[in-house]
Amino acid sequence: MAVQFMRTGQQGILLWDTETGFKVGIDLFLSDREDRLLPNVVEIGDLGDVACLLGTHDHADHIDREAWKEIARVHPDMGFVVPAYFERHLPDELEISRDRFLYMNPGTQMQLGPLTIEAVPAAHEFLNRRWDGCYPYLMYILTLSGVRICHMGDTCLYEGIYKNLRDLGRFDILFAPINGRDAARYSRGCIGNMTYQEAADLAGALRPGLVVPGHYDMFADNSEDPELFRAYMEAKYPWIPVAVLKPGEVYDAPAPREKQGKSLLELLRQTEGK
């Protein structure tokens, strides 16, 4: 089986298995707002073959509330995956039946057809863990046809992020936000993400099969140049492939790690241990 994906802008990803046709969307931002820089590369009517939409957190460019209402109406069989933090109120506010939702939190594992979903806390400036252990910002770890994917949503680095991700094993694809943060954005309520250097160093430590930068191209006042990320990766971690993708561009996922031979570095480490 083969897996393909497409960036839709910002952190939006469509992901599918080419043989079974199973397809999911993650953090799709579809509303036609005046301040968006990019036109939609997918329309709500095009999503009829999508099994579920995943939203990493309740911001308009990740859980697009107006679009979700229309999607739920047009595609009555589609499901929705959101942080458990929003279980009490989000379905009612969206006027979507509760039985169409799955709720995620760190430690939760869900099976949706051939897709396995796990969650890791994300720190969109802060973790903001609630008294009951729920987090409003999540990263999703997806396994589809053996391909392991980490979609980081929106996050900064925080104490424990390296361990949290390493504990889940190696990823075939890492979707990382790179738009950074600063005082000017924070003071106007625009909370931030990793800088492109921080995202590159995290990728260097995790050694994914492919890293795809995101969250840099939708809003003029919250952007970054993805070529800076690519250049930093090529200078410091040249063995890790990078794909800077235009919205609408389809890309083949790398083969799952278990189907690949061991790298020279892994063989050397194995030999050293004998």
Confidence of residue 1 (pLDDT cuts 50, 70, 90): low
Please compute Rg for the chain using Cα positions: 18
pLDDT tens across 10-22, in order?
999 999 999 999 9
pLDDT given for residue 193 in this prediction: 96
- Contact between 150 and 165 (Cβ < 8 Å): yes
- What is the per-residue pLDDT across 225-274, written as a single tens digit (0 to 9) for each? 999 999 999 999 999 999 999 999 999 999 997 655 445 454 444 445 44
Q: Report DSSP state, residue 99.
A: G
Tell me the pLDDT of the chain averaged across its residues.
Answer: 93
Q: What percent of the chain has pLDDT over 90?
A: 88
**% of the chain beyond a pLDDT of 70:** 93
Per-residue model confidence as pLDDT tens digits over 73-130: 999 999 999 999 999 999 999 999 999 999 999 999 999 999 999 999 999 999 999 9
**pLDDT at residue number 269:** 46
Locate 241 and state its tokens.
Answer: 């492939």
* Distance separating the N- and C-terminal Cα atoms of the chain: 35
pLDDT at 50 exceeding the cut of 90: yes
The residue-averaged pLDDT of 19-28 equals 97
Cβ-proximal residues to 224 (8 Å cutoff; 6+ apart), any chain: 178, 179, 180, 196, 216
Q: Which residue has the tokens 């969650």?
A: 119
User: pTM for the whole thing?
Assistant: 0.93
Kindly report the CATH number that applies to the domain delimited by 3-249: 3.60.15.10
Rounded Cα distance between 171 and 87, Å, is 29
The continuous run of DSSP H or E covering 230 comes out as: helix 226-236
Where are the chain's structural domains?
3-249
What angle (nearest 5°) sits at the alpha carbon of residue 10, between those of residues 81 and 217? 175
Residues whose CB falls within 8 Å of the CB of residue 128, separated by 6 or more in sequence, listed in order:
135, 136, 137
The predicted pLDDT at position 191 comes to 87
Q: Average pLDDT in the 199-224 region?
A: 95
Amino acid sitting at position 18: T
| pLDDT score recorded for residue 190 | 86
